């Protein structure tokens, strides 16, 4: 029987939860995982940015298809875009070109304290200028860029680091900012995978095993046409459909278990691009692989250090 002065061990549990929270977010992290995310995420951002080049005037020009009235109907009243001020035919390509240069500087790691923030802003500005054109890959890359804006991704594999070595400066120490950025990368990777799995579980085609065929059939220009293969083998179609859902659930949960993460992260680097190909969204699959790369924890997990 408990004495009157005794209380449950709730404070100890709260202390442990608080300590785990602090370790996850505020343990300094080394630079190379975030640097790789910067390089690959920057290349993806440049590819998506460049995809607008041929139709820039058609969409966003003074007399383009996305008129102010149409934009107001689609865009949140709180959203803004640097491209809102490009009201002349000459100003639009200049702003677009400068934005591309910012993303290029980010990718090679030049002036990263500035270009990572500027890159996230200019990429978001392009998406806000044409929200009806935004696809899942654009959203995923925007997440990557905002995570880069928080961390110190220029501390490795960058022009900034090369210049620092040339000037005789010592190698940077692990950074709390980088740890926070990698923590955000993991949270977003898990949330996106979990949200995808939950959405799929609400659709009958994912339960009856035909979703893989519908994904392949609706792709506008698939890299690989799998519809014929799926029609010939119902078992393969069912296997691929259910494997996608199982993987997404395992990925969302496994990122938080050190032993599982050592398996799920390498698997994700392969599986996400494949899922992107099947779904006709290869850029999205690559973006998810980049987020997965940011979940790599060298050696033991950061939580156990």
Which residue in 116, 28, 108, 43 sits closest to 298, CA to CA?
Answer: 28
33 and 103 share a domain? Answer: yes
Between CA 78 and CA 61 the distance in angstroms is 22
Contact 93, 56 (CB under 8 A): yes
Q: 51 and 167 share a domain? A: yes
> Given this model, what pLDDT does residue 1 score?
47
Domain with 265 in it = 186-297
d(CA 115, CA 118): 5
* Residues whose CB falls within 8 Å of the CB of residue 245, separated by 6 or more in sequence, listed in order: 197, 200, 201, 206
Choose the final residue of a domain: 174, 206, 221.
Answer: 174
Verify that 122 and 233 share a domain, yes or no: no
Would 68 be classed as within a structural domain?
yes
Q: What pLDDT digit, counting tens, does each position of 136-161 carry?
A: 999 999 999 999 999 999 999 999 99
Chain Cα centroid distance, residue 248: 15
Average pLDDT, the chain: 89
- Is 5 domain-assigned? no
Helix, strand, coil percentages, rounded to 5, for the chain:
75, 0, 25
Burial class (CB in 10 A: 0-12, 13-18, 19+), 4: exposed
Which of 203, 225, 208, 204 minimizes the C-alpha distance to 216? 225
Per-residue pLDDT of 8-47, as tens digits, reads: 557 788 888 888 889 999 999 999 999 999 999 999 999 9
Instruction: Convert the pLDDT of each residue in 196-235 to its tens digit.
Output: 999 999 888 899 888 887 887 775 655 677 777 777 888 8
**pTM for the structure as a whole:** 0.90
DSSP letters along 188-240, please? HHHHHHHHHHHHHHTSHHHHHT-HHHHHHHH-SS-SS--HHHHHH-HHHHHHH
Q: How confident is the model at residue 304 (pLDDT cuts 50, 70, 90)?
A: very low
The phi and psi torsions of 8 (rounded to 5 degrees) equal -60, 165
Contact indicator for 285, 247 with CB cutoff of 8 Å = no
Count the helices and strands in the chain (H runs, E runs): 15, 0
Please say whether the beta carbons of 196 and 252 come within 8 A.
no
Q: Which of 174, 196, 214 is the last residue of a domain?
A: 174
Range 280-294 average pLDDT:
95
Examine the domain organization and report whether 125 and 86 are in the same domain. Answer: yes
Q: String of b and e for 225-247 (b: at least 16 CB within 10 Å)?
A: ebbeebeeeeeebbebbeebbeb
Residues 41, 128, single domain; the answer is: yes
Same domain, residue pair 123 and 244: no
């Amino acid at each position: 029987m408990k004495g009157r002065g005794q209380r449950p061990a709730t404070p100890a549990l709260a202390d442990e939860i608080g300590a785990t929270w602090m370790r996850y977010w505020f343990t300094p992290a080394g630079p190379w995982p975030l640097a790789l995310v910067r390089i690959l995420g920057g290349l993806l951002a440049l590819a998506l940015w460049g995809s607008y080049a041929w139709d820039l005037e058609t969409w966003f020009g003074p007399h383009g298809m996305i008129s102010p009235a149409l934009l107001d109907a689609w865009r949140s009243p709180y959203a803004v875009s640097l491209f809102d001020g490009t009201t002349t035919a000459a100003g639009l390509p200049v702003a677009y070109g400068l934005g591309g240069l910012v993303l290029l500087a980010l990718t090679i790691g030049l002036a990263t304290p500035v270009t990572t923030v500027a890159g996230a802003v200019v990429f978001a500005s392009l998406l806000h200028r044409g929200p009806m054109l935004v696809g899942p890959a654009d959203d995923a890359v925007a997440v990557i860029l905002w995570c880069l804006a928080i961390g110190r991704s220029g501390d490795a594999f960058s022009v900034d680091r090369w210049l620092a070595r040339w000037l005789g400066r010592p190698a940077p120490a692990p950074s709390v900012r980088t740890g926070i950025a990698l923590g955000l990368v993991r949270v977003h990777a898990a949330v996106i995978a979990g949200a995808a799995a939950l959405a799929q579980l609400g659709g009958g085609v994912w339960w009856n095993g035909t979703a893989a065929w519908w994904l392949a059939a609706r792709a506008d220009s698939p890299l690989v046409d799998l519809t014929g293969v799926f029609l010939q083998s119902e078992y393969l179609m069912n296997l691929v459909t259910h494997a996608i859902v199982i993987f997404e659930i395992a990925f969302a949960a496994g990122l938080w278990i050190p032993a599982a993460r050592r398996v799920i992260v390498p698997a994700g680097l392969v599986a996400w691009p494949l899922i992107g190909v099947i779904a006709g969204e290869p850029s999205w699959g690559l973006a998810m692989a980049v987020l997965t790369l940011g979940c790599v924890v060298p050696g033991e997990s950061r939580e156990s250090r």
